[in-house]
Structure 1
Amino acid sequence: MSGPARYVPRRRARCGAALTLVFAGVLVTGAAAGSWSAAGRHGVPPVPAAGEVLGAGTDDAGRHGGDRWGAVYSAEEYQGFQRALDGAYVGVGLSLRSRGDGRIEVADVQRGSPAGRSEIAAGDELLSVDGAGAAGRPVTEVVSRLRGDYAGTARAGTPVRLALRHGGRTLRLTLRRERLSAQSVVADRFRAGRTAGTKIKVGAFTRGTGVRVRQAVRETAPGEGVLLDLRGNSGGLVTEAVGTASAFLDGGLVATYDVHGRERVLRAAPGGDTGRPLVVLVDGGTMSAGELLAGALQDRGRAVLVGSRTFGKGSVQMPRDLPGGAVAEQTVGRYRTPSGRPVDGRGITPDLEVEGDAEPRARAVLGGLGGGS
């Protein structure tokens, strides 16, 4: 069941990082740092590139007619969106999130990236980017500085100076941005006591995510369970979220949404694996299409959700072309889970709420469901 209404901050418009959900043939949601939330035009909206995901921005809805998620993007920004739809981006391979006290920390480091070849580790506090302090700033702004939009250096090969709190000391280093391929799906087999299975980490719903998840499920040994990790998932193409749901459902409702008051329906494809034990990990960084997927699996009784309440981004935006190639997004509706629960401003409350690292508890729950060998 949904928890109490929650204030959802809004990302800054025209700020070099996106945090949006769009509908126009496909629904998309985005959040990226040094990568970029992606979008295309003429019915292909923004998607979050996987790397450098962000948390919450500032709420300046009053400056945009009360539309918390509305925004305007330049033609150059939309070109970056196009690339990110395919999971490609220019950045250093950092995923970021905001702590409750305003500090910015590293949520994840992409393997093989400039950050991945450095000493930076998940949990490090990001102190500054090119000399600008990170604490107290919207994550969107920090993301934009990582990418280089503020300085006009959002190109492969350009340097970015970082200062971080790392293991009790201050780490200062300079990385050079690269064109990276986001790893939207990473599958690893695990064993913990008598519990064995496959952990499938989905960082964002870029093109092909649904197919990769279905393949990972098929490759899981008979009798073993799946731990679907949606923590920090900033969203993406909702068609891919529905494709991922189809890996675990045999058809049926995934979500409903409205556009200008007219209800539409999203349905899973038939033939998914409905018998394998499934536990889904969620947290406050699970957003939009990630929440849609988690809510569907919870409502349909297909999975046990473990972790903390999700972000609460369930609105639908529609893009509109502006002169000069710019694109504006305006909120036109909201989506709901199969049982009719609204997500926007509420989020999804997990079945088992866990403070801190929820993965050990999730594995224990999976074992209790029969996930083992």
Structure 2
Amino acid sequence: MSRNFSIRQVAAIVAVTVTVSVCSTIFVLYSAYTAVNRHVISFDAEAVDLDNVVKFNQVRDILKKDYYKSVDENKLIEGATYGLAEALEDPYTVYFNKEQMQTFLEKSEGSYVGIGVTVNVDDKGLLTVIEPTEGSPAQMAGMKQGDKIVKVDDTDVTAFSDENMIISMIKGKEDTKVSITVYRPVEDRYLQFDIIRKRIKASNIKSEILEGNIGYTRLVMFDSEIAKYFMNDLNRMRKEGIKGLIIDLRDNPGGSYEQVVRIADSLLPEGVIVYTEDREGKKSYQKSGKSSVDLPLVLLINANSASASEILAGAVKDHGAGKLVGTTTFGKGLVQELKLLKDGSGLKVTISRYFTPSGVCINGTGIKPDIEVEAFDEYRNYPVSQIPRDRDFQLKSAIEVLQGEIY
């Protein structure tokens, strides 16, 4: 059956067809435009509540519309990126911007521009001076072990969750000034230091032969090359006839996982050095080979011995390869991995827990010494390097223990 359309009907059909065609074209062009000119952040609909996404967009829109100054959305995104890491409430998982990333890498390589202090985070989350480097700007200004860093320039840093963010603020261009405010518990007062930044070449290993042919090596931290220097010093001292070895890990905040494993490999008999376990329960083992240094061994430890120091101490203790002398260690049993991002920034993220060869995770508890020895009260708040040798009761005790093994 044929059907005839009036001119008016034909015109209406053409108009509708043209309208649909134009709208479709506009939609396609708009989609292409927005694809090029809009960046999309996606969320997993099964893992993220829609209300949280709506709230995120509302907060962003309010800030853009109502904040009394012009808002740079790139800064908002950067702040949100910081917040992603901070939301985990893990002081060891932290995002670094490009400048902070550069500072972190410099620190691990043993040379940097700063004030010259070794630091750690205390149990209250305050960045605490473990030791000013000998001859450093910090030492010359009068900073001391135990000082709690509370301000950098005009910024209160007591609520900062990661030490490296504060460290990046302390560091900067050479010959520029930084103002550091500290709380000194032993004097119950606040002090401000105006310090000129200088290039610091950290000497992270110090070795000598003590009376009675006892080798002594102090490891300040495990930087990216420390294992090589440790073996060089050890081989030199062995050629000179040492009969035993003391490794001083007091005030050593940790450092390279790879480097401490290499040092442990040289000291331990064949077996497990350390193993890690991720959130899926996957275990990864680091093992020592058959060859090891055949020397009586003592490790000195204290409450500032952390992370990589505890890996070495735990492995030596579990293997019965030496004695631990001093006080209980810090208790950091978590492993971080550094992820480099495309723009030069980075993310330090906790990826696993580590366990001693006997299967103990020491996070939050530390490692107890075989022989507990406190420092003399008058030197309890002093860095190890500033304790006079004849007043270093912990070292004297370590020497006595080692002599008992030798003779």
| 1:297 aligned partner | 316
Indicate which of 179, 196, 206 corresponds to 2:199: 179
User: Unmatched 5+ residue regions in structure 1?
Assistant: 1-59
Of 350, 354, 358, 1:331 maps to 350
2:117 maps to a residue whose letter is: L
- Superposed, 1:153-172 pairs within 5 Å as 154-161=172-179
C-alpha displacement of 1:77: 1.6
Q: How does 1:26-37 map to 2 (within 5 A)?
A: none
CA distance in 2, matches of 1:77, 1:130: 15
Matching residue of 2:104: 81
Check conservation: 2:94, 2:162, Cα contact below 8 A.
no
How much does 1:327 deviate?
2.8
Instruction: Give the equivalent residue in structure 2 for 1:32.
Output: none
Q: Which of 266, 270, 279 matches 2:298?
A: 279
Q: Contact 1:127–1:133 (CA<8 Å) still a contact in 2? A: no
Aligned to 2:404: 368
Aligned residues: 303
Tell me the TM-score normalised to structure 1 length: 0.68
* In structure 2, distance between residues paired with 1:300 and 1:196: 25
RMSD of aligned alpha carbons:
3.6
Using the size of structure 2 for normalisation, the TM-score is: 0.63
The 5 Å alignment of 1:98-113 reads: 106-113=129-136
Instruction: Check 1:141–1:176 CA distance in 2 against 1; reply closer, same or farther (3 A cut).
Output: farther
- Measured after TM superposition, the shift of residue 334 of structure 1 is 1.2
Match of 1:218 among 235, 238, 244: 235
Counterpart in the other structure of 1:233 = 252
Q: Which deviations, in whole Å up to 9, do the C-alpha atoms of 1:53-109 show, x marking residues without a partner?
A: xxxxxxx99952354532212122222222233211222222245778999865323
* Runs of at least 5 residues in structure 2 that lack an aligned partner in the other structure: 1-82, 377-393
Distance between the aligned counterparts of 1:119 and 1:326, measured in 2? Answer: 32
Query: Once structures 1 and 2 are overlaid, which stretch shifts more, 340-349 or 107-116?
Result: 107-116
Deviation at 1:205, TM superposition (A): 1.1
Task: Tell me if 1:198 matches 2:221.
Answer: no
| Contact 1:104 1:127 (C-alpha < 8 Å) held by counterparts | yes
**1:360 shift after superposition:** 2.3
Match of 2:362 among 327, 338, 343: 343
Counterpart code for 2:399: R
SS at match of 2:267: coil
2:108, 2:85 → 1: CA distance?
Answer: 30
Bigger Rg over Cα: 2
Q: Which is helix-richer, 1 or 2?
A: 2
After TM superposition, give the deviation of residue 222 of structure 1 in Å.
2.6
Task: Give yes or no for contact 1:257–1:336 (8 Å, CA) kept in 2.
Answer: yes
Change (3 A) 1:265 1:130: closer
Which structure shows the higher strand fraction? 1
Q: Which moved more, 1:258-267 or 1:320-329?
A: 320-329
Contact persistence 2:249–2:301 (CA under 8 A): yes
1:301-339 deviation per Cα after TM superposition (whole angstroms, max 9, x unaligned) = 111001111111112334455574433344332111111
- Partner Cα separation in structure 1 for residue 125 and residue 109 of structure 2: 32
Q: Which amino acid in the other structure matches residue 209 of structure 2?
A: R
